[in-house]
Amino acid sequence: MNRKKFGHDLVKLATEAVRLEIHKLVTFTPEHWENITKANAYYRSKGFEYFEITKAVTAYPDLPDLKLLAQLASDLVEPLRQFARNVA
């Protein structure tokens, strides 16, 4: 996998995960996709790392459900760890 191909684009990464059939390990629901897309708007521009005054004063519009995304990330870790152990 080429890092530069994906950069900080969560939608591209999630799409590639589906292409690689990771959905057999963890299902991405429509709600997951919606929140991945919302997060992508911030993440691609490093909006989670750097303070953006215009977004702060407008209460960070379209902020994703971070709890849902954290749970998805957590749900991905163990199945992927097991998969990596099995192919190693």
Confidence of residue 1 (pLDDT cuts 50, 70, 90): low
Looking up tokens 């909006």 gives 47
Residue 2's identity, in one-letter code, is: N
Where in the chain are the domains? 3-87
Give me the pLDDT at residue 38, please: 92
Q: Decide if 9 contacts 42 (C-beta within 8 A).
A: no
**What are the residues whose beta carbons fall under 8 Å from the beta carbon of 63, sequence distance 6 or more?**
38, 42
Q: Decide: 7 and 26 in contact? Cβ < 8 Å.
A: no
Confidence bin at 31 (pLDDT 50/70/90): very high
